[in-house]
Amino acid sequence: MANPDIPHLNSEQQRQRAEALLVTAYLSGITDPRELANFMGQVQHESQNFTRLEENLNYSGSRLYDVFPKRNGLTREGAQSIANIRDRTERQHAVAEQVYGGEWGKAGLGNTEAGDAFTFRGRGYIQLTGRSNYTDSGPKLGLDLVRHPELAANQQNAERIAVQYWKDNVQPVRSARTDATQAGSIINTGGIGGEVKGLPERQANAAAWESNLNQGYLEAALKRHPQAQVTAAADPLNQPLQLKPTHQLSPQSLQLIQQSEQQVRAIADRHQLPWNPGLDNTVHAVAQQAREQGLTGITHMKVQNGQIRFAQHDGYALREGQLDARSAANTDARASLTRMAQADQRPAHGSAFSATPARAAESPTMTM
């Protein structure tokens, strides 16, 4: 399918931004279709359908109060007074101070210095907000977002920030990964149970993305972003950017990545391990090894004595493989993707895995 049938993606720029983010999220390890759909639906809402990379802080008095009722003691009269400020820059600073400053901003966003409320206003697809969030996100991505907060509004950085935010804040709550209400609450309020602004839109977005992913949109998007770099559409907030290299993978390879992630996540959840780049690398290294050994699925996984053992059990045969856990964690996911793409181009040949007969009624035990 050429374009996704997603509500409110009306312009080519919106669709290009959405597709670039989809590819980045998938190649960064968000591979479960329902979670990927939830991620895209949430980010679509936060970015006003991929039209906004920086919060403009332009509100009417009524809208300001409706969105931030009682924030730092805000009243309807106070909101209207702020909206009546004639100078646009002064008005934006006043809005920022009211909704992101004061005691609420100190406690919730780490805005402890004068001017923080405006300096660290919402940027990027996920609308990263507050000194503490900028401080936390920057080092993970190799960006100095405290000294240069404007970098968060760069399209490519916005993609990476959104993915990292999701992994840090939503993925640790396993049920929130596929639940629009819980994910929206975490994004809006920092935890489960808070009021979710725009919940019907978030739910509708996620449902539309899930439907499109189930109809093959992801595979089509990956084909449109081949291994050679392509230039992203020029954005008014930054210079034209290069999309990160992606890879045209076969359905078999895509399935191996998805099933590898399911197994690795199950192990991480069982041991309450936070998701990190090493686990991302492991997902892709296992999938690549399974692809090289001729497996078409990964149904079981076990980690023992520094080795990752994985297997495909189809009811009749157990096909196994293994690799060093430390090596897997330290192998860049992009290198694994490159090798998988190369394997997809080679003619089919005999596999190197071991095949152990097993009765159809039996299923091997390969859990930690």
| Domain limits, the chain | 12-53+139-227, 61-121, 251-345
User: Tokens standing for 197?
Assistant: 């602004």
**Whole-prediction pTM value?**
0.62
Range scoring the smallest mean pLDDT among 48-52, 68-72, 102-106, 346-350 = 346-350
Cβ distance 199 to 60 under 8 Å?
Answer: no
pLDDT digits (tens, 9 = 90+) for 245-275: 334 678 888 889 888 988 998 898 888 777 7
Give the Cα separation of 101 and 210 in Å (integer). 37
Residue 243 has pLDDT above 80, yes or no: no
Q: How far apart are the first and last CA of the chain?
A: 41
The per-residue pLDDT for 233 is 32
Q: Which residue has better confidence, 91 or 246?
A: 91
Residue 352 has pLDDT above 50, yes or no: no
User: Tokens standing for 38?
Assistant: 């939830």
Give the Cα separation of 301 and 263 in Å (integer). 6
What does each C-alpha distance from 191 to 108, 176, 345 come to in angstroms? 12, 10, 45
Give the Cα separation of 142 and 53 in Å (integer). 19
